[in-house]
Structure 1
Amino acid sequence: MTEYGRGQGSEPWHPEDPLYGDGGWEGQQAHTGQQAAYGGQQQYPQQPQQQHYGEWGHGQQDPYGQAQQQYPQQGQAQQYPQQYDQQQYQGHPQQQSYDNNSWATGTHQHAQYPNHPDPYGQQAAAYGGEQADYYGTPDAYPPPEPPSRRQAEPEPPQTDWDPGPDQGEHAFFAGGDDDDDSDDDSGGGRGDRRSRGGKPKKRRSGCACLVVSLVFAGGVGGVGYFGYQFYQDRFGSAPDFAGDGTGETVTVEIPKGALGYEIGQRLKQAGVVKSVDAFVAAQSQNPDGKSIQAGAYLLHKEMSAESAVEMMLDPKSQNNVLVKPGERNVAVYKAIDEQLDLSAGTTKKFAEKDFKSLGLPSWANDNSEIKDPLEGFLYPGTYPAAKGMKPEAVLKEMVSRAASKYKSLDLEAKAKALKLDSPLQVITVASLVQAEGKTNDDYRKMAEVVYNRLNRSNPETYGLLQFDSTFNYLKGESNINISEDEINSNQDPYNTYTQKGLPPGPIGNPGDGALAGTLNPTDQGWYYFVAVDGVSKTEFAKTHDDFQKLKDKFNESSGN
């Protein structure tokens, strides 16, 4: 293997050597049919054997992708200044190493190169091949400074952005000046200029500092303003009216489940209070503030929050209709007429005529003998009913709440489990339990009495319920002293003394307790019950003999 050391003879490079690509610079010129001209007619003929290129090796490719240029020869091999002789660049394609983008300076034995085309030969033009070559022209003087011991990277394109000492600092903050760009034409990069101790950068004028100071002061002022607003919103007094308000009144409807903030919003929208926060604060300060119920309230405009809370706690300001558990529809219709200031019977007439428009479940009103299609569907609770409202709106709210409640209980499935014909019969049983019972324990026992009696094969009643409450319903009365002659002579479908099974429909509006007892009856064998004190104390019996004893006890307490 032939060695190529400094000062030794060498074989000329073959044009197909891989390090030359297409034969080095001359090979590329021959390939393209062009001749490179440097300084007019001067050409650069290939020198034999001992031609030196400032100790750069023999035709070695520049590690930074520059084209393989050969420098102009003046007779013998052109010698560069002594500082070039001190740096040796020898091409060692096999064991070549790099250290911080510089060529290794050690001498290694060369490897034989295979004779095949260089895959990188076509990249000469891609890496600096189109850059202008000033050698051999007047622009080449003074000649460019030789590379340092460790060759610097190619100069990046010059821009107006100065990376600064930490490679990311803008010249403005580094104390530089825009005039620094004028040094770019000196031929050296910015990094070289700094390393050689270029001229110090100018400092920014006081105008820029003034601008920064003004911006900073404005920021501090803005923070202070918004901080004050934040304090006022969180800790300052909320806007509020004073006094009991004007003479103008307004009705405000509060929905079920509304809390202080939502109530305050509705009052503010109606012009009653000045701010939501003022109402919430006043409600929290009043010991009874949280007891404000859903409903309609007749209030004054521009009231203080404290006065609004007190007025809403006064029953006289409440424009509501209260449906009590077990209450019949005729009583509810009357209350709506009075609350809406309507003539007597207005709401009842609407219910009889337009009940289908109120949103009843599909299984409601399944019996042509039902006296009131809405019975059992005006769910117990408090409902807004203020002057100016229509009875349709009040009734629709009641029916909607009942339908939602019954759907949540899945009455269709429960009816089958209880061996009833329809969900409506479940409500009918609940209305009977509500009318006869007084406590939750009563409701469960009362429900068992109904189910046991509905079994027509039972040995006690053979399918007759015999409830006074059903007879009172058809009579429109609430009398517990009913003669047997009067009961036995009446053949109305709602008379359970003469008609077996359940009445055609509910006899009132059952509440939560009665519904729960109906769906979860006891299983103790009850068939009879008697309110022994005639009011609230109900006792149960399993046989007719025990029932007679309870009846005697009732007669004694009532003086019969």
Structure 2
Amino acid sequence: MTEYGRGPGSEPWHPEDPLYGEQGWGGQQSAHGQNQYGGQQPYPQDPYAQQQPQDPYAQQPPQDPYAQQHYQQQPAYGVPQDPYAHPQPQPQQPQYNNGGWDAGQQPASTPYEAQQADPYGGPQVGYGETHDYYGTPEAYPPPQPPGRREAVAEQAPTQNPDWDPEVQPEETHPFFTGADDRDDNDNDDEHDDDSRESRRGGRGGNERRGGKGKKKSRNGLACLVVSLVLAGGLGGVVYVGYTYWQKQFGAAPDYSGTGSGSVEVEIPKGALGNKIGNILKEKGVVKSVDAFVAAQTENPKGNSIQAGVYLLHEKMSAAEAVKMMVDPNSQNLLVIPEGYRNVTIYEMVDKKLDLKKGTTKGIATSEASDLGLPDWAINDKDIKDPLEGFLYPAAYPVTKETKPETILKKMVSRANEEYDKLDLEGTAKKYKLDGPWQVLTVASLVQAEGLTHDDFRKMAEVVYNRLEPDNTVTNRKLEFDSAFNYLTNQSKIKISTSEIRSNPDPYNTYYHAGLPPGPISNPGEEALRATLNPTGDGWMFFISLDGKKTDFTKTAAEHERLNKKFREQHGLD
């Protein structure tokens, strides 16, 4: 549709149009009663005063031969002839009849039927068929009303036979080209005027706009400033986005290398990845908690980090920190082996804390009742050390600031935890013992006499069998060398019969029947569980000929034969 609401062709000028009758459509107004194309008007009156215009696209008799000639003169009004237009069949248009469009109806016959063809159309293809020179993309637009011709003439582009519709026009705006529309110098005036005239579609006149002496660099500088502003804004956006991405998805801050110096870090019991990472960060070991958690996750042994005190380095990578923490050698621990006596443990604490020898033993003796012993612990006058059996074998973290009483409390507390897991009361009743205290004493003997883990259950059975009231072979005497060595604070294998049978100390099981007054060592978990679940094979005797392997026997004859062999090997009487 055109801007007048019509189809793609031009319509006869409507009398109701406010521009109807304006001069200039044909160069002059036709005389009253005279056809403007040279033909004699059959009626003297004005043909537009009474008659309705006809549709120029309906099937009509042949065209007025002067119509084509008239259109060919149109370049005088700014609408040049299109030399490239090709005849096109024109589609059927709605009929303009009785003051409106009535599709599908032919208007009544008028005196103008012989001239109803498009006055601007070309040669007829056939009767009633015309070429539409305005319906193709290559054609020029239809003629405009008289009041709009001047504007059309100014806006019509100069015909260029080299113009290619497929090629994008070159940008000429000064903002993009960097050229100033002002003249640079006098030598360019004529060229600039011609260029402006060409760009304006042929408007004449050398309109020199002045401003001579102004440099073209003004627009270039403006472009540079705008570019810098845009680049700065874009750079800010990129920086903010990168910072956000790094914070949300980037690698966590981390040190590199193995660090330097020495840092003592204590990890409490039950601490997991985040808590461990926080402790290490506060101590200056790692740079961020996230880096440590990531390194712990990547390390196959990362979940094996235990409570304890670790000797690490300052400003070390999270991966190196995890690597050191899973290595037991990096921990600052006091390791208590299974079966150690208290006297040996006291010496170990003094050495670890750089204390005077005997300091820890003195505190254990004076503060035994304040170190957390259970209610069933016995403090009899015959007991050499009430803490014996309660310094549980394990690894305990210590620092330079750790006090002896602190580490002793940790050991007793750990022993209580482990013993609470065991049915000491039930075992005491089952084997006719006087409560958990004696069960712990049996476990200490099993731990001291057994050479291997396979020995523990057999050794526990030997103890229970010898404690039986009907034991007439040893008369309920245990006769354990380990108990005699405990009372003498020594570790001998070669003990003379006269020496061992003549010492009346309550801990001498060769001299006294039954169990010693209390534990003689600190048993470990396996010895404790073996005490609760001994074998039932009837073992009564045991001996080790080489100190590496224990031989168990059921009868006194078998035991005596092995005992004789042992004396001969060691030169004992």
Q: Please give the range of the TM-score, normalised by the shorter of the 2 chains.
A: 0.5 to 0.7
Change (3 A) 1:524 1:314: closer
| Equivalent residues in 2 for 1:141-540, closer than 5 Å | 229=244, 232=246, 235-245=249-259, 247=261, 249-256=262-269, 258-286=271-299, 289=302, 291-312=304-325, 317-535=330-548, 537-540=549-552
1:340 Cα deviation after fit: 1.2
Change (3 A) 1:354 1:264: same
Change (3 A) 1:413 1:316: closer
Bigger shift: residues 348-357 or 413-422: 413-422
Bigger shift: residues 286-295 or 313-322: 286-295
Gaps of 5+ in 2: 1-236
Distance in 2 between the 1:557 and 1:258 partners?
54
Change (3 A) 1:454 1:227: farther
8 Å CA contact 1:296–1:386 kept in 2: the answer is yes
The one-letter amino acid paired with 2:256 is A
8 Å CA contact 2:291–2:318 kept in 1: the answer is yes
Partner of 2:167: none
1:258 Cα deviation after fit: 4.5
1:479-517 Cα distance to aligned partner (Å, 9 max, x none): 111111111121101000001110111001101100111
Distance in 2 between the 1:308 and 1:522 partners?
46
Bigger shift: residues 274-283 or 465-474: 274-283
1:405 Cα deviation after fit: 1.4
Partner of 1:95: none
Partner of 1:541: 553
1:166-218 Cα distance to aligned partner (Å, 9 max, x none): xxxxxxxxxxxxxxxxxxxxxxxxxxxxxxxxxxxxxxxxxxxxxxxxxxxxx
Distance in 2 between the 1:278 and 1:557 partners?
63
1:392-411 Cα distance to aligned partner (Å, 9 max, x none): 11111110011111122132
Bigger shift: residues 408-417 or 460-469: 408-417
8 Å CA contact 2:494–2:570 kept in 1: the answer is no
Change (3 A) 1:309 1:460: same
Change (3 A) 1:555 1:281: farther
Partner of 1:69: none
Partner of 1:156: none
Distance in 2 between the 1:234 and 1:330 partners?
57
SS class of match (1:540): strand
Distance in 1 between the 2:345 and 2:375 partners?
23
8 Å CA contact 2:335–2:396 kept in 1: the answer is yes
8 Å CA contact 1:534–1:554 kept in 2: the answer is no
Partner of 1:550: 562
Change (3 A) 1:443 1:240: same
Distance in 2 between the 1:355 and 1:514 partners?
25
Distance in 2 between the 1:558 and 1:321 partners?
37
SS class of match (1:297): strand
Distance in 2 between the 1:389 and 1:330 partners?
19
Distance in 2 between the 1:311 and 1:531 partners?
41
8 Å CA contact 2:542–2:551 kept in 1: the answer is yes
Tell me which structure has the larger Cα radius of gyration: 2
Distance in 1 between the 2:544 and 2:270 partners?
37
The one-letter amino acid paired with 1:522 is T
1:254 Cα deviation after fit: 2.2
8 Å CA contact 2:476–2:514 kept in 1: the answer is yes
The one-letter amino acid paired with 1:531 is S
Change (3 A) 1:459 1:350: same
Change (3 A) 1:269 1:547: same
Aligned residues: 336
8 Å CA contact 1:533–1:558 kept in 2: the answer is no
The one-letter amino acid paired with 2:365 is E
Change (3 A) 1:271 1:540: same
Partner of 1:25: none
8 Å CA contact 1:339–1:386 kept in 2: the answer is no
Distance in 2 between the 1:226 and 1:533 partners?
75
Partner of 2:38: none
1:420 Cα deviation after fit: 0.5
1:294 Cα deviation after fit: 3.2
Distance in 1 between the 2:535 and 2:289 partners?
50
The one-letter amino acid paired with 1:401 is R
Change (3 A) 1:467 1:278: same
Task: Report percent identity of matched pairs.
Answer: 59
RMSD: 2.8
1:288 Cα deviation after fit: 5.5
8 Å CA contact 1:415–1:422 kept in 2: the answer is yes
8 Å CA contact 2:447–2:524 kept in 1: the answer is yes
1:331 Cα deviation after fit: 1.5
Query: Once superposed, which parts of structure 1, at least 4 consecutive aligned residues long, lie more than 6 Å away?
Result: 224-228
8 Å CA contact 2:538–2:554 kept in 1: the answer is yes
1:315 Cα deviation after fit: 5.5
1:504-537 Cα distance to aligned partner (Å, 9 max, x none): 11001101100111001112211101113222x1
1:557 Cα deviation after fit: 6.0
1:452 Cα deviation after fit: 1.0
TM (norm. structure 2) is 0.54
| Equivalent residues in 2 for 1:37-116, closer than 5 Å | none
The one-letter amino acid paired with 2:429 is K
SS class of match (1:525): coil
Change (3 A) 1:244 1:448: same
1:133-188 Cα distance to aligned partner (Å, 9 max, x none): xxxxxxxxxxxxxxxxxxxxxxxxxxxxxxxxxxxxxxxxxxxxxxxxxxxxxxxx
SS class of match (2:454): helix
SS class of match (2:309): strand
Distance in 2 between the 1:357 and 1:454 partners?
34
